[in-house]
Chain A
Amino acid sequence: MIFDILLLSLAVIFIGGGLVLVKQLFKLAFFVQSFGSLLLTIVGIFVVASREDSGAQFTDKFHPQFGIDPLSGLFLIVLGIVAIPVLVFSGSYLDSDSKRDRVIACLSAAFIIILAGTVCARDPITLLGGWELMTIIPASIILIAHGNDKSVRRSGFIYVAITHIGGVGTWIAVILLAKYGVMGGGTHLHEGSPIQIAIVLSSLIGMGTKAGLMPMHVWLPRAHPAAPAPVSALMSGVMINIPIYLLIRVLVYWCRPLPVWVGIVVLTLGAVSAVGGVVYALFERQLKKLLALSSIENMGIITLGLGASLALTAHGKNDWAAIALAAALLHIINHSIFKSLLFLSAGTFEKTAKQLHIDRLSGLVHSLPVVGVSFFIGVMAISGLPPLNGFISEWLTIQSLIHVSTYGNFADGTIGAISLVAMAATVTLALFCFTKVIGLVLLGKEQFPRKKESSDSLLMGISTLFLALLCIILGLIPALYFGRLMQIAPWSSNKVSLLVLNLPGTGSLSPLCLGAILISGTFVLFLLRSNRSAKAAPTWLCGQKLTSKLYWSGSGFTKPARMILEPIIRPTRKITRVEELGITQSIEYEGEVPHLIESKLYSPISTWFMKVATIIRRVQSGSLGSYAAYLIGLIFVLLIAFRLGIL
């Protein structure tokens, strides 16, 4: 029954995706699709709440099967809840008159169906097919949207190339799982057996690449910003969660029990991605690229939760392992909500300001009040501030890491402590990074003239506001749904109480109380403060007038951090001074924070490959005579080999 509703919702999205090609039905089609996504969300919520499987079970056979269980249901919720606002947003973001935009809209409907199909796939062949299409569809959208731009074509190429090279890992893992009958649940692998290790390592590489974990992340900051805003939101909000879904399937469900070192490896990957992602986001100047880098950071936080869960299971601490896994799942939900919110807002900013260089956007909250305030809330959530949703999942992740340190022995206890340091640094760096974003983009003097309010911006406002409200609601009532998330773990664990997250070994967390005190206190103090007269005055600058030339830039704001991190991130800078008769006429400043993994790890490898390819290419002369000579040569070699008795 519930499976039929799932099929129905996908059919509705399919019909909506077809209707979108008709110019007259453009807006209606998006509403049809968002209705389908709503059904998808309801199906997900129902499956997670009732804990009932529906449809087929996992099988090792190579014929298509679909089904849902609570873990798939959770990812369907994530997909649906992001897709609804994204589709509503697309209705006004994409232009119904442009044929290109209509094709993009159609493809994004296909993208949603493929994402749902991958999550519900129950056999190896559908899983791998969905996995490949999940890469190819956004790549084609990127090419359709900006195919004329050479640098975008290059980004698209790098995206497809790297995810495919990495994707080999996924293929190996899935095929091995099917071959040894692990996927269907028929056999259990022994702890530390070679097959188990092969599966674990290849899936870490394959799925880690697609999830954008460092150091396999180089495609992500190129591909995500290149897509149109709604597709970027789907990519960063939903697509990169799918590899995490598969990773959870492989590591938590299929390959149990795992040796302790797997947890250590996963924690290390998470810690590196979290810190690395946010450090590069801090120094990034293009808004969408910054958001993409921050996705790497958040994937890192999710991976930390997953790693903590693996390490804790290895020590038999099932309660905390379930909490850590639920923390990772909760951060997946939260990240998909606020990241799609931020990407959608970035799309609106791009429409208004025609560019996304954060130093050149300013005061956008004046011309876009609704989207601006939603963006503000999203940023507070992603910075992990109470009482919003990001705070809850980050708090839970930190608690899980502490418990890794508590229960672990020397090796994983130490890695747990290092991850704690990483997590602490990540949280503060994220605050640094996103205060810069709000300050530069939303606040300050308005740079662009206010546009007339139209129904288009209304749809954009509604969709971002919806996501912002979700950030607040999920932040206030975590205990209502957290117990359900804990039950997704394949082992049983204790329940948590309602309204207050009272976990063992922590002080309790009661976001409702925190929120009530914060809001009422601020309100009262603000009233007290406002009943005094206020004197109008310009910004104090030692008597100077504040002009936009005196505005701080993002690079200036982050300079102290850049100087302190210099030994690690190696920023470059070039100052050119034009002098005439001993008087400086102008100064040009160029500064950059290079991505070291690209220049030090990937560039040498690709140059080496190109060199080898050049040598091999000499063999291909193109003339018929030389190929005939190769054949004759081959026959001679074979004859000699036959004579010598080798063959």
Chain B
Amino acid sequence: MHFTSITAGLVQLFGGLVASMLIPGFIQSLKAKLQGRVGPGSLQPYRDLRRLWNKSTVSVSNSTLTYRIAPSVVATSMGLAVLVVPVSSLGPNWGVGHDAFVLGGVLALSRLALVLAAWDTRNGFSLMAASRDLTISIFTETAMLISLSVAALVAGSTDMQVMISRISLFHVWSSPAPSLALAAFSLVVIAETGHQPVDNPDTHLELTMIHEGMTLEYAGRDLAMLQWSGGVKHWIMLVMLSEIFLPHFQNAYLQLLCLPLTVIAICIILAIVESTIVKMRLLNVPRFLGLGTILAFMGILALKVPS
């Protein structure tokens, strides 16, 4: 195997499985600085994980295996998603390939597990969150699939490694399609990672939360797995944004070198957005994400207009 491939594989595994929790941690600490608070450090999520890992879990009365197994399913599918999303145009296949729509299926599986866990415990708050999450997901997933389709049309393949290498070419950007897909996917990133203005990751007020709500019934190792999965989801989305949709280098090493820088830059933007924009009303979220779908759709049209 080529040396570049091995490096990329290591970055993919280390970044996705280990370092990904730094992203929400960094955004939190940055937000605290922006708001004039001292706040926790970037490593706080890891301390939380250690604390949770040593605590006992909860067995909710009348619940079935669905509730108990859900965090494991969520964490496994997120781990699988790390393998599916490549970090550079070269890299190991891991036997699962790098297809963009396989990723969609894997993310859907994790969503199903959490929603069913909410139904299993019949916790009203979890169900409220699940209902909202699914409603928003109709629009998020559509916008995500369409922006990935634009990338696939530009690259001529739905393989994300091919997307990375083709979209790195300079002439591709002469068409408005990649820029429109970038705009659309940025909105998707905000919604999928649960940041303002779609969701507020800091809130613990039942009536406003979405992603937080579904973890309410969990404690100990279960909660640790769910929080880790949240970090991994940040990683997946940010890697896709910076490697596929943002302009990037053609050389695999330069791609790998630039990855941390772009991720940090996106974190800063997310922190600024979160500190300056208020959360929008739930019923306005579809409009926000619908805009994403329309932008990406215009990207496809831009590729199809006879010139």
Contact = CB atoms under 8 A, between A and B. Distances in A.
Interface string A511-541: 0011001100111011011101111111111
A627 interface: no
Given A410-B304, A518-B77, A532 B221 contact: yes
Contacts, number: 253
B91 to A, nearest CB: 12
Interface stretch (B37-45, B112-120, B194-202, B248-256): B112-120
A119 to B, nearest CB: 32
Nearest to B84: A507
Contacts of B137: 428, 431-432
Contacts of B127: 439, 552, 557
Q: How large is the interface on A (under 10, 10 to 19, 20 to 34, 35 or more residues)?
A: 35 or more
A406 interface: yes
Given A518-B76, A521-B80, A550-B124, A508 B99 contact: yes
Q: Which of A399, A408, A529, A540 has the most CB of B within 10 A?
A: A529
A563 B283 contact: yes
Nearest to B76: A521
B96 interface: yes
Contacts of B68: 526, 529-530
A601 B149 CA distance: 35
Interface in B78-100: 79-80, 83, 95-100
Nearest to A536: B59
Contact of B58 (A391, A406, A537): A537
Given A385-B112, A522-B69, A541-B124, A507 B98 contact: yes
Interface in B113-149: 115-116, 118-125, 127, 130-132, 134-135, 137-138, 141-142, 145-146, 149
B36 interface: no
B72 A525 contact: yes
Interface stretch (A68-76, A146-154, A418-426): A418-426
A429 interface: yes
B161 A507 contact: yes
A431 B57 contact: no
B131 A559 contact: yes
B221 A528 contact: yes
A429 B102 contact: no
Interface in B158-188: 158-162
Given A517-B79, A540-B216, 14 more contacts: A365-B64, A405-B300, A405-B304, A413-B304, A420-B146, A428-B108, A431-B108, A431-B137, A435-B134, A440-B119, A521-B75, A529-B221, A535-B57, A560-B282
Interface of B: 55-62, 64, 66, 68-69, 71-73, 75-77, 79-80, 83, 95-102, 104-106, 108-109, 111-112, 115-116, 118-125, 127, 130-132, 134-135, 137-138, 141-142, 145-146, 149, 152-153, 156-162, 216-217, 219-222, 225, 282-283, 286, 293, 297, 300-301, 303-306
Interface of A: 363, 365-366, 380, 383-386, 391, 395, 398-399, 402, 405-406, 408-410, 413-414, 417-418, 420-421, 423-425, 427-429, 431-432, 435, 438-440, 443-445, 500, 505-510, 513-514, 517-518, 521-523, 525-526, 528-530, 532-541, 546, 550-552, 556-561, 563-564
Minimum-distance CB pairs A-B, first 7: A439-B119, A507-B99, A521-B76, A507-B159, A525-B72, A424-B145, A413-B304
